[in-house]
């Protein structure tokens, strides 16, 4: 079997380098009550465990009963993180076998609450924290990480956590959560992942005043101080973990686009809020076009919000239209924006750089409703982090203009959604093609049951990471997100569409991630971004390297 340098041949048995109580305290090796009597004898564990040897199925049953009996989602989150701290293999077994139930707990929306209360619910550190005090020594901090074969780093500076704003060092919950999805959804080995908080301070007065806040108690670094720390971090990653891909995560708008542009051609890196969101939303648009029997070039998309998510989506829609033969200028005219100051149009003098290509000539229209009336969009995409922007009048107007209006309320967490699934279906008389950022349950309206699609980035980034990691691609290029979007849309079945769902069921995310991994790896091979030639069977190559949460035999 051809093996990538990513992992050596997966062994069924290993010889652990620790024994006794230290073995039980190492989450990457610990099997808890599942150690066999023979292993207990050989590894100095006799007496340290209750006598019954549990099967993994029994352990899973115990964990699920405990998690489900907790009184709140936040308690369920801490229960799961404690399991990750004790027994990594069991954590991933539970998550991977119960993904639809576990994903909202270990990631959005519950992780948002967990980040807000990070210093209050803190039990054990996870990941690396880098601050201005580490200047000149960031490489030494990275060297402290216990694993050498790091392949995926998720790094945040905590300034724009979900739709919750500046959470400073509390943002660490996000890289931890995202990396657990890299493993759970795509099978990237947990030992190859590294969560990083670039703690550059916080401007949140509430956090600075909170006696339990665990980050640097100072205002955010700005200007050269900020840039120099990030630049030292990137250089240190290249030196210590030369095969690692960096995912920039939850940076505020003013740094997100800048850092992406600065580093995308220098190091293997991408920004999930911009590019991952774009791919999942484009897949939704492709599926909704299929549902309405139209083509992407028949769509006019109006965005509510013109930040990282919205502009990122528009940029990828433009790439997709160009791939269908449109000129760049024609493609851009399919995308319009309303931001906090009204319609983005060519007479505006206050626009940040990323919005400028979308400032088309038009009379100023101040609010979303008048923009809908004047521009007659086929699709309305909300990424404003402002609850309730899709009012009844807006949705009614979209339904008046379109037989099947696409309404995507992507803002997170659930409370920030531009409208709820129920509102979208009720106000459009059951005709809306709805997708959201945070999960909404099924809705029954006038006897018909609709299953809202969740435009969850988790459909995209784990598969992109898998493809990059196994092919050892030197760069993450926009074409990979286009390939990911088309692959995801292609996996949405007629049955999904009949239910009103624009994406495959989350229960199929492992297969989705593998397929995206293959498409991304194929792109990397085709574009000459890999050190090794293309293996004969890329599908098998990718799937063979996926991590499986099973206990190894200890000899």
Q: Which residues bind ligand NAD (CB under 6 A)?
A: 160, 162-163, 253, 273, 277, 280, 304-310, 338-340, 383-386, 389, 410-412, 416, 437, 455-457
CB-wise, 383 or 476, nearer to ligand NAD? 383
* Strand ranges inside 118-234, DSSP E: 128-131, 152-156, 193-199
CB-wise, 128 or 371, nearer to ligand NAD? 371
Give yes or no for a contact between 112 and 125, defined as CB atoms under 8 angstroms apart.
no
Q: Where are the alpha helices (DSSP H) in 325-420?
A: 328-332, 368-375, 392-401
- Report which secondary-structure segment, H or E, holds 303: strand 301-304
CB-wise, 277 or 530, nearer to ligand NAD? 277
Minimum CB separation from ligand NAD for residue 555, in Å? 44
Minimum CB separation from ligand NAD for residue 219, in Å? 19
- Report which secondary-structure segment, H or E, holds 270: strand 269-271
Q: What is the DSSP letter of 167?
A: -
Give yes or no for a contact between 520 and 488, defined as CB atoms under 8 angstroms apart.
no
CB-wise, 342 or 490, nearer to ligand NAD? 342
Is 403 designated active site?
no
Residues 6+ apart with CB under 8 A from 160: 166, 250, 251, 252, 253, 256, 273, 308
Give yes or no for a contact between 365 and 396, defined as CB atoms under 8 angstroms apart.
no
Shortest-Cβ-distance residue relative to ligand NAD: 307
Minimum CB separation from ligand NAD for residue 133, in Å? 29
Minimum CB separation from ligand NAD for residue 423, in Å? 17
Burial of 233 (0-12, 13-18, 19+ CB in 10 A): buried
CB-wise, 159 or 472, nearer to ligand NAD? 159
CB-wise, 302 or 518, nearer to ligand NAD? 302
CB-wise, 110 or 240, nearer to ligand NAD? 110
Minimum CB separation from ligand NAD for residue 532, in Å? 33
Residue in 391, 354, 358, 372 with CA at minimum distance from that of residue 302: 372
Choose, from 31, 77, 92, 107, the residue flagged as catalytic.
107
Burial of 152 (0-12, 13-18, 19+ CB in 10 A): buried
Minimum CB separation from ligand NAD for residue 85, in Å? 27
SS3 track for 432-499: CEEEECCCCCCEEECCEEECCEECCHHHCHHHHHHHHHHHCCCCCCHHHHHHHHHHHHHCCCHHHHHC
User: From the CB of residue 498, how many other CB atoms can be counted at a distance below 10 Å?
Assistant: 10
Distances (CA, A) of 69 to 74, 75, 79, 121, 159: 12, 10, 11, 19, 34
d(CA 104, CA 106): 6
First to last CA, the chain: 24
Give yes or no for a contact between 543 and 495, defined as CB atoms under 8 angstroms apart.
no
d(CA 214, CA 435): 36
Residue in 176, 84, 93, 58 with CA at minimum distance from that of residue 127: 176
CB-wise, 202 or 412, nearer to ligand NAD? 412
CB-wise, 174 or 214, nearer to ligand NAD? 174
d(CA 81, CA 75): 10
Minimum CB separation from ligand NAD for residue 21, in Å? 42
Is 548 designated active site?
no
Give yes or no for a contact between 277 and 435, defined as CB atoms under 8 angstroms apart.
no
Minimum CB separation from ligand NAD for residue 260, in Å? 12
Minimum CB separation from ligand NAD for residue 262, in Å? 17
Q: Residue 144, SS3?
A: coil
Choose, from 77, 118, 178, 182, the residue flagged as catalytic.
178
CB-wise, 157 or 339, nearer to ligand NAD? 339
d(CA 172, CA 13): 33
Minimum CB separation from ligand NAD for residue 338, in Å? 5
Q: Which two tokens stand for residue 262?
A: 């600065």
Burial of 321 (0-12, 13-18, 19+ CB in 10 A): buried
As annotated, the active-site residues are 107, 178
């Amino acid at each position: 079997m051809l093996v990538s340098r990513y992992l050596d041949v997966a062994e069924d048995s290993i010889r652990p380098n620790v024994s006794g109580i230290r073995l039980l305290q190492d989450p990457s090796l610990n099997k808890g009550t599942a150690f066999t009597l023979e292993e207990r004898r050989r590894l100095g564990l006799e007496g340290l465990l209750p006598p019954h040897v549990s099967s993994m199925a029994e352990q899973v049953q115990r964990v699920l009963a405990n998690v489900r009996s907790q009184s709140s989602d936040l308690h369920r989150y801490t229960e799961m993180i404690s399991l990750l701290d004790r027994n990594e293999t069991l954590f991933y077994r539970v998550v991977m076998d119960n993904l639809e139930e576990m994903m909202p707990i270990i990631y959005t929306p519950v992780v948002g609450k967990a980040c807000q209360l990070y210093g209050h619910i803190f039990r054990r550190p996870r990941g690396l924290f880098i601050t201005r005090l580490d200047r000149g020594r960031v490489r030494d901090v990275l060297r402290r990480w216990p694993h050498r074969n790091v392949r995926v780093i998720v790094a945040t500076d905590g300034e724009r956590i979900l739709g919750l704003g500046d959470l400073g060092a509390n943002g660490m919950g996000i890289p931890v959560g995202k990396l657990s999805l890299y493993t759970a959804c795509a099978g990237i080995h947990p030992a190859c992942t590294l969560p990083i908080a670039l703690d550059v301070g916080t401007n949140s007065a509430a956090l600075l005043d909170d006696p339990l806040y665990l980050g640097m108690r100072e205002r955010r670094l700005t200007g050269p101080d900020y840039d120099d720390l990030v630049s030292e971090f990137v250089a240190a990653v290249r030196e210590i973990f030369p095969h690692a891909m960096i995912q920039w995560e939850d940076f505020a708008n003013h740094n997100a686009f800048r850092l992406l542009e600065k580093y995308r051609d220098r190091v293997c890196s991408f920004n999930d809020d911009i590019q991952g969101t774009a791919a999942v939303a484009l897949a939704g648009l492709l599926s909704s076009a299929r549902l309405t029997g139209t083509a992407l070039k028949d769509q006019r998309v109006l965005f509510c919000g013109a930040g990282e998510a919205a502009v990122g989506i528009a940029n990828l829609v433009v790439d997709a239209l160009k791939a269908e033969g449109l000129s760049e200028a024609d493609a851009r005219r399919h995308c319009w924006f309303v931001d906090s100051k009204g319609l983005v149009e060519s007479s505006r003098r206050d626009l940040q750089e990323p919005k400028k290509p979308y400032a088309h000539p038009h009379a100023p229209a101040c609010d979303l409703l008048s923009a809908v009336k004047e521009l007659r969009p086929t699709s309305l995409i909300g990424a404003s982090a402002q609850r309730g922007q899709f009012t009844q009048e807006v949705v009614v107007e979209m339904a008046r203009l379109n037989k099947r209006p696409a309404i995507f309320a992507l803002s997170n967490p659930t409370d920030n959604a531009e409208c709820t699934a129920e509102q979208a279906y009720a106000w459009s008389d059951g005709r809306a093609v709805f997708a959201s950022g945070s999960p909404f349950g099924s809705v029954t309206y006038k006897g018909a049951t609709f299953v809202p699609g969740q435009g969850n980035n988790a459909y995209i980034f784990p598969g992109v990471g898998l493809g990059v990691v196994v092919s050892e691609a030197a760069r993450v290029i926009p074409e990979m997100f286009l390939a990911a979007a088309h692959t995801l849309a292609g996996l949405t079945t007629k049955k999904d569409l009949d239910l009103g769902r624009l994406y495959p069921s989350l229960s199929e995310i492992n297969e989705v991630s593998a397929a995206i991994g293959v498409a991304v790896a194929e792109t990397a091979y085709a574009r000459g971004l890999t050190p090794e030639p293309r293996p004969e069977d890329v599908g098998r190559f990718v799937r063979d390297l996926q991590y499986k949460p099973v206990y190894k035999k200890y000899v």
